[in-house]
Amino acid sequence: MPNKIKFLAYYLPQFHEIPENDRWWGKGFTEWTNVKKAKPLFKGHQQPIEPGELGYYDLLHTPDIQKNQAKLAKEYGLQGFIYYQYWFGNGKMLLEKPAENMLKDKSIDMPFCFCWANETWKGIWHGLDNPDTLIEQTYPGEKDYINYFNYLLPFFKDERYIRIDEKPLFVIYDSVALPAGFIELFQNLALRNNLKGIYFMASNRGHNSYDYQAKGFEAKISGDYNVLLDKELFKIKNPAFINRIVKKLRKNSNRPMILDYENFFKKLHYTNSNVETFPMILPNWDNTPRSKYKGFVFANSSPILFKKEIQKAIKFVAAQSFKEKFVVIKSWNEWAEGNYIEPDEKEGNGFLEALNI
C-alpha cells in the first residue's frame, strides 16, 4: 500500500448509558442492547452477532477499553478514529464523555478527529414505528457557535488531533444544513487561537455534485455510496427524502430489504467533487438489530470482499494529487448497524486483517 494513504474509521461513542437513552429505550440502554436481542429474520441471516476479544464493553467503565481499541487498531494499520460528536445547539451534547476521557488520557495512543453529527434524531432510524423526533438539531446563532468552538478548542490543540496542512480536520455530517457564516466564523476563531485554520471536510452524506468549495469546504468524503444505495434500495435517482424512505420502509415491513454485497459494490465507482474527495468503504451493513424488518442487509459480505473494496479505494485515491490521502472506513464499531471492523466471533480479526494490503 502506498505509504501516504491512511485509513481512518468512524467511531461511535454509543456504548455507555445516558439519561436520554434510558428515557427513550429503557434503563441501561446502550448500543449492545439491540445487538444482544437481535433475531435472524430470514434463512441464512447471521443474527445475533457477538463481539470478539473486546467483548461487550462499556466505554466509561470497562478498564482500558479505549487504550485497547487504539492498540488493536494501530496494530492492523488504522491511522485514526473519526469520533462522532453531538452538539444539538444551546450547549446540548450527547455521548461526549468517551472523547472527553480520551482527551484527558494521553496514554490512549491514537490519532483522532471529530465528525459533527449535526442531524435530528428520528425514531424511525432507531427502531420506533414512527418518524417522531427524539432530539432536534438546532442552529441558535453566533453565540452558540462560539461556545461550540471553545468546547472543541482543547481537542483541536491536542497533539493527537489529525491535521491536514497544519489545520485540524473537522468533518461535517450534514454539510448542506450548515448555516451560512459558520465556517467563516470557525476559521476566524481558529486564527485568533493560534491555529492555522480548520480543514473542513463534508461527510459522505451529500451528493458529489454539490458546490462544497463555495460553502467553504476543502474536502469531501465520497457520496457515491449513498447515491448508489438510494438508487438500489429505493429507486430514487436523486438524494433521498425522509418521507419517501419511510413510506418505502413501511411497505416492506414483513421483510428487511436485502442487497448482495459483492453485486452492489461492483456497481460502485468513485468520482470527484469540486474539492478533495476521499473514498469510503463498508465491511458490511445489517441494521436489523435496531430496525428489524424496517432495516436492510448486505448479504454475503466477507473480509475477502472487503479487501477487494479497499484495493479499489486505494487505487482511486492514489491517483489523486492531494495534500493527504485517506480511505475512510464506516465504521470501527457501529455494531447495531452491522458495519464494524472490531473483532467478532464469526470472523475473528478478519476485517482488520483486510487492511493489510
Q: What is the pLDDT of residues 96-139, one digit of tens each?
A: 999 999 999 999 999 999 999 999 998 655 555 555 789 999 99
Whether residue 1 has pLDDT greater than 50? no
Tens-place pLDDT, residues 201-232: 999 998 999 999 999 999 999 999 999 998 89
The CA distance from 312 to 324, in Å, is: 18
Let me know: does 293 contact 255? Beta carbons within 8 Å: yes
What DSSP designation does 337 have? G
Average pLDDT of the segment spanning 49-75: 98
Cell of 135: 432530539
Cell of 14: 454509543
Q: What's the confidence (pLDDT) of residue 340? A: 98
Tens-place pLDDT, residues 283-331: 999 999 998 988 999 999 999 999 999 999 999 999 999 989 999 999 9
Strand-pair category, 78-89 with 5-11: parallel
37 by DSSP, 3-state: which? helix
Global pTM reads 0.94
The CA distance from 177 to 190, in Å, is: 22
Residues 6+ apart with CB under 8 A from 214: none
The CA distance from 162 to 199, in Å, is: 10
214 by DSSP, 3-state: which? helix
Neighbouring CB atoms inside 10 A of 235's CB total: 9
Neighbouring CB atoms inside 10 A of 151's CB total: 15
- What structural domains does the chain harbor? 5-353 (3.20.20.80)
Average pLDDT of the segment spanning 36-65: 97
Short-list 63, 85, 66, CA closest to 74: 66
What DSSP designation does 206 have? S
The CA distance from 190 to 195, in Å, is: 5
Q: What's the confidence (pLDDT) of residue 129? A: 58
Average pLDDT of the segment spanning 17-46: 95
